[in-house]
Structure 1
Amino acid sequence: MKLSTTVAGALCAAAVLAAHAAGEKPATQVRAEIPAEFRWDFGAIYPNWEAWEAGMQDMQRQMDAFAALKGSLSSGPAAVLKAYQAFDAIGKLQYRLYRYPQLQRDVDTREQAVAGRFQRMNALFAKFDTATAWFTPELLATVPEATMQSWLRETPALAPYRHTILDNYRKQAHVLDEKGEQLLSLAGPLNQAPRNIYSELSTSDIKFPSIKTADGKEVRLTPGNYAALLETNPQQADRAAAAAAHLATYGAQANTYAAIYAGLLQRDWFLAQARKFPSTLDAALNEHNIPRAVVENLIEAARAGSAPLQRYARLRQRLLGLDSYHLYDGSVPIFRSEQRYPFAKARDLAIASVAPLGADYQAKYRRFYDSGHVDVYENEGKRSGAYVAGVYGVGPYMLLNHNDTLRAAFTVAHEGGHAMHTVLSYENQPFVSADYTIFVAEVASTTNERFLLDHLLKNTSDPQERFLLLQHAVDGIVGTFYTQVLFADFELQAHQLVERGQALNTETLNKLYAGVLKTYWGDAVATDDFYKYTWARIPHFYNTPYYVYQYATCFASSAQLFKAMTEGDASSRKAATERYLTLLKSGGNDYPMAQLKKAGVDLTQRATIQAVVDQLDALVTQMETEAARIRR
């Protein structure tokens, strides 16, 4: 008998409520049927779209008022203060205007009306960038640094802006005059061309092949299906066929990808020269005053410390019983577990694990999870992955796609670290210094992951569970440290080829990437020719050059901070914890290297990076011990 729509809907809703009551993942992917407590509440940003539209109009008025300040900065500290306060007011409004459509777009990418509003907002922001291009050149041209220093001393109200103002003078040698800055701002959309072309080629136009696996199933090798096959398929031949076919998709378009990447590298070199930087690396690091030695030291130390990485590959080969080990064997589990981590359990474990950070931190952490700012489960049209996005004056919003796995539990801890970093920064910093840099952003997230690992290891004696936890930690080092340094190594060398005026084509890029793979993995991984095309499928290379190294530096920083907070006598642990919490509370009130040094980390020192290498070596040794216990 066919149920009526009303009855069927009622039964579906009843099933959802029953699953919710049992603390289980909802059986539905229809967003409206997922309990509200697992969905974002946007009301704290704007009550409705009418209010958002009013905000767009308000921003236009504030932009016009800001433009009227042109020519006033040299008149005195009051004028400078007025301009910065106006910048703050517009900045706070921008957060709300941006997040309101962006967050709603991300939970239903099919909604075209939201996408249209998001595009309107981006256009208004681009207009603002051009309309304010006069500000920094005027400040630097009409107010000498010595004069500004005296204004800062004599005007207490300017104190919150001290770091931001003086940073303009630090960068002065690389700031153009008003006409030059306006010209570069007009080129902004053009500068996005390589990124946009890459996105269309790699998403809209790409045609992924299908393969038939040993069990007779046909799998279309989209990025998601490809990753899932490598993680779940026990047949090495299937994994090999999938890797060859997936990478061949990029290889077939390699000349086009090479042309796009060459254009991006030339763009970066043009911008570096336009601003009088000796290299693209110097240009990229200047924004946050990062010394070249950080990147150079990172690459040198990771290259020299590749032995534990290769040792892990050989351990995996032995435990998997493979005659040869390949990169496509790196995701398949050695042992499997039936342990599940429903969201409520993962959340409670994450909160319990950070007890060393104090009761106040834990209380704020729990309040965040009760705030209506966590979107937990996958639904139709929702974007993949996980992130935390802040709205100053409102707080952080966390996106998850929780699926009850161990990896998902660590994602809860990881994103929770970002959320608490944002909470503490917003609580303790004015708007101008509330936004922390990418250079320190992953410190809080990876530190919280380390706390969760430690908590789980202390609460299980089962050798298989312990092995899986240790493997997760090792895979984190491989993915977040070594792989990201390998990527950084490649893109630095690629940029240097352009800086030296050398030819850049498919053959050059293939040879460069294959060489970097060999440097890090050595003979522990068999050489597969198709992996030379990997450079064509890494979005970061095209979207955010000189970005990936920061994952590795953050990981190294969190490793050192965690060790200081959990080892040694009680007094030293307490002092280290206070320094760490101060780091989280400091937002962007200083250069990130200075912030980390205050917390106890110096990334210019080789020992800081070597600590990660040593940690991997120790974890692999622990894995060998647990594996031996399992096999007895």
Structure 2
Amino acid sequence: MLKRDEIDQKYKWNLTDYYENWEAWDRELSQVKELMKKVPEYKGKIRYSCEKFIELIKLEEELNRRAEKLYVYPYMLKDLNSKDEVASIKMQEIQALFTQYSVTVAWMTPEILEIPKETMEKWIEKNEELRDQKFNIMEIYRLQGHVLDAEKEKLLSYYGQYMGSPDDIYGELSISDMKWNEVELSDGYKGPVTNGIYSKVLSTNRNQEDRRKAFEALYSSFDGNKNTYAAIYRSLLQRDAASAQARNYNSTLEKALEPKNVPVEVFETLLKSAIDNNAPLQRYVKLRQKALGLKDYHYYDNSINIVEYNKEFEYDKAKEMVLASVAPLGEEYTKKMATALSDGWIDVFETENKRSGAYSLGIYDVHPYVLLNYQGTMDDVFTVAHEMGHAMHSTLSSEAQPYATHDYTIFVAEVASTFNERLMLDYMIKNSDDSNEKIALIEQALGNIVGTFYIQTLFANYEYQAHKLVEEGKAITPDVLSGIMDNLFKQYFGDTLAMDELQKVIWARIPHFFNSPYYVYQYATSFASSANLYDRITNEKYSQEEREKATKDYLTLLQSGGNDHPMSQLKKAGVDLEKEESFHAVAKEFDRLLDLLEVELKKINK
């Protein structure tokens, strides 16, 4: 693991686009606190005056934009070093401010709802300053059944900072206080098995015994604290259930979906479709087990390539490949991507106490930043493509939309990222003359379907079942949570997978469960959506004119931010997720790729 002072600055975030230093941050914080004092002056006045309402909306936007900067700066610094004491203190300060702000504005939505909808529509029609806000204001009326009176809203707002505690505690336990177990592998490696090292061993080490050692080392780190992780997760489930009840939702699932206007049936259809179409998944495992010559196939065998393929990609080369791969989306998109890949926007390598995984994060007034833990594997190259898809989505939506509607929903967030992974695959296959590499690339595509569609749907099913247990007043223990995982893996994989006891505790090492409940199903819906969009843009069964229109529609989707409900945005781009065949199409593509893989394997007698 590298030390930050050993890494060239061009591979690290340059956060001066946020603030030059903490002194500048402190000044902004003081100014925002003063600005917040103006909000109560409008209480009791906006229902009678369009002018006052407009003034308040402008004030709220200014506060939100400045508060976002204040929040993201310490958040990102803490992700670079979870033991950064100053960032931790500042993070608590801004969280306290957010709680105070929630209390300050708790009266706003109830008072807006005292304005007749017809009156509000006239105000919007007559005042250009409100037109950008139309979608968001009308959403308040659509969801008014879940808005409480001003006093109840104020009471709930006092708990804002506390409601984020499970996420904070999980982060400290799984990053700051994590004790990584050490192993000695047959290739000479001796050291800790971090999340990054684990991923690299699983994807490059061809010795199953080494993969087993890495698996047991990593999962034992989580298993040793499973009672604490279960207690954290139980508090999160109880929080979600209480919040749903307080806001008059029938369930936590409904509370997660209704703000996006996503029907519960879409979620249920997704879960059912994945299990109904598990045959290709089980075929995939059997094919891999045979080709790898394994007596038993374990989940930790899922990342190693069938063929000998340990090629490492220098990060700068990976950047070039990612940039070249997006050429089908046009010159303007490629130019913006080149800017997004420039120095200071991406923090590349794994370092001590750095947050694991990868993400793209951007706010309206500052360009997106991307966090990586780059190890040089093929999978890491695809991760760069994935996260840059997010970064470009944020860039395009911020450029095309006003602040009020720039923020796209999570439901469509993974469309651009998974689309770019498909472009990356096309590019690499086209530019390869190595049979083994082509097989590895087909496997990469298959792995994307497994990881992004099947596994994320399995995880979504787990979250759904865990939340239902709390809603029904049932107990949550480590064994209960592991039992849900055990049953789901059997439903998906049947008897093709040898289920390790430690594998069942996978729920403890998935940050999204603790950070963003009911997030992961959207990987699968987005994956299905991008599959349909990709087909319309690249499949030569369509005319050149049709493909060009599909490309334009897709870029329009990325530029639309949050100006409509996500299901409607996707329909405009040509994808209808209310149709079950939208999900079945993923399984059909899976089978097609398996056929191609079998043909290629026969060529090399595997």
- Say which SS state the counterpart of residue 400 (structure 1) adopts: strand
The 3 A distance-change label for structure 1 pair 329 and 590 is same
d(CA) in 1 for partners of 2:89, 2:334: 40
d(CA) in 2 for partners of 1:200, 1:379: 16
Shift, 1:328, TM fit: 2.2
* CA shift digits 1:102-139 (9 cap, x unpaired): 33444455543343333322222222122111111111
1:355 aligns with 2:317: no
Shift, 1:78, TM fit: 1.9
**TM-score, normalised by the number of residues in structure 1:** 0.89
The residue number in structure 1 matching 2:96 is 123
Contact (CA 8 Å) 1:386, 1:398: kept in 2 or not? yes
Contact (CA 8 Å) 2:204, 2:309: kept in 1 or not? no
Contact (CA 8 Å) 1:474, 1:619: kept in 2 or not? yes
In the TM superposition, 1:496-515 aligns within 5 A as 496-515=468-487
The residue number in structure 1 matching 2:117 is 145
1:181 to 144, 147, 153: 153
The residue number in structure 1 matching 2:16 is 43
**TM-score, normalised by the number of residues in structure 2:** 0.93
The residue number in structure 2 matching 1:4 is none
Q: What is the alpha-carbon root mean square deviation over aligned residues?
A: 2.5
- Say which SS state the counterpart of residue 295 (structure 2) adopts: coil
The residue number in structure 1 matching 2:243 is 271
The residue number in structure 2 matching 1:318 is 290
In the TM superposition, 1:115-514 aligns within 5 A as 115-140=88-113, 142-203=114-175, 207=179, 209-210=181-182, 213=185, 220-244=192-216, 246-247=218-219, 250-251=222-223, 253-337=225-309, 339-370=311-342, 372-378=344-350, 382-514=354-486
Shift, 1:57, TM fit: 1.4
The residue number in structure 1 matching 2:537 is 565
Shift, 1:248, TM fit: 5.1
- Say which SS state the counterpart of residue 533 (structure 1) adopts: helix
d(CA) in 2 for partners of 1:214, 1:393: 50
The 3 A distance-change label for structure 1 pair 174 and 110 is closer
Mean Cα deviation higher: 182-191 or 589-598: 182-191
Shift, 1:579, TM fit: 0.6
Contact (CA 8 Å) 1:463, 1:627: kept in 2 or not? no
Shift, 1:178, TM fit: 1.1
The 3 A distance-change label for structure 1 pair 93 and 156 is same
Shift, 1:471, TM fit: 1.1
1:75 aligns with 2:48: yes
d(CA) in 2 for partners of 1:347, 1:252: 38
Uncovered stretches (5+) of structure 2, i.e. residues with no partner: none
The 3 A distance-change label for structure 1 pair 378 and 580 is same
* CA shift digits 1:126-160 (9 cap, x unpaired): 221221111111111x2121221222222222110
Task: State how many pairs are aligned.
Answer: 604
The residue number in structure 2 matching 1:589 is 563
- Say which SS state the counterpart of residue 73 (structure 1) adopts: coil
Amino acid at match of 2:560: S
Mean Cα deviation higher: 187-196 or 267-276: 187-196
Contact (CA 8 Å) 1:556, 1:611: kept in 2 or not? yes
2:587 to 603, 613, 628: 613
- Say which SS state the counterpart of residue 524 (structure 1) adopts: coil
d(CA) in 1 for partners of 2:89, 2:226: 33
Shift, 1:176, TM fit: 0.7
Larger Rg over CA atoms: 1
In the TM superposition, 1:496-575 aligns within 5 A as 496-567=468-539, 568-575=542-549
Shift, 1:34, TM fit: 4.3
d(CA) in 1 for partners of 2:482, 2:80: 37
The 3 A distance-change label for structure 1 pair 41 and 191 is closer
* CA shift digits 1:168-202 (9 cap, x unpaired): 11110011111111111112233234334444444
The 3 A distance-change label for structure 1 pair 267 and 138 is same
- Say which SS state the counterpart of residue 47 (structure 2) adopts: helix
The 3 A distance-change label for structure 1 pair 158 and 102 is same
Uncovered stretches (5+) of structure 1, i.e. residues with no partner: 1-27
